[in-house]
Amino acid sequence: MKYKRILLKLSGEALMGKKGFGIDQERLQEYAKEIKSIVNAGCQVAVVIGGGNIFRGIQAEKGGMDRVHGDYMGMLATVINSMAIQSALEVLGIETRLQSAIKMEQICEPFIRRKAVRHLEKGRVVIFGAGTGNPYFTTDTAATLRAIEIEANVILKGTRVDGIYTSDPEKDKNAKRYDTIKFQEVYEKGLEVMDMTAFTLCKENNLPIIVFDMNKLGNLMKLVNGDKVGTLVEV
């Protein structure tokens, strides 16, 4: 196994599946089975998921809502998604712990780094909810911050495309996929991988990122075993 401890970053939109809103139970179960497969293989797994399938603070701001207020609502949306992932994993017999950057004792533990690491060492999946707990930061930044704190080997960014392309593959048929790319190249070419705060944090801490298609069954296991899937971003 190439990666002993990973942080899996999922978008909230990915949970919608074929729906236009909310959570598609079929997609949720697929993701849970994929995560279970690598946990059973001995990989330590942390998860951060966005909340865009329920609420997006930035979009709310465009409609006239206060940005800070909207961002906090978005953080609560990530907790809903985190609880959904937690439930789906536990149905499959996987032990989990949900930690939140915003205190809500009836639902989840507060984020405590040492506790999170201990849970991982015991084979539990740790899900980090509520972003960083601060407005103006995305769940990409939260994922990067938590990955650095728990000393993850890599961030696996699950998307609906199979890597990073020269341009948007859904709009440009001639777009070419990178197998590997350097952080500096991403800056120079203006490619969108993560928001710039998160991306810079990864670069400064020498934390590689792999962008891959989460919807293709078996990809997660291949990545953990070191197979070439998606696009690797490294220093």
Check pLDDT > 90 for residue 2: yes
Task: Find the helix or strand (DSSP H, E) in which 144 lies.
Answer: helix 139-149
Q: Which of the listed CATH numbers 3.40.1160.10, 3.30.70.890, 3.20.20.450, 3.40.50.10150 matches domain 5-234?
A: 3.40.1160.10
Q: 181-199 pLDDT, tens per residue?
A: 999 999 999 998 999 999 9
**CA pair distance 168, 46, nearest whole angstrom:** 29
Band of residue 168 on the pLDDT scale cut at 50, 70, 90: confident
Q: SS3 for 205?
A: coil
Query: The pTM is what?
Result: 0.95
Q: 136-152 pLDDT, tens per residue?
A: 999 999 999 999 999 99
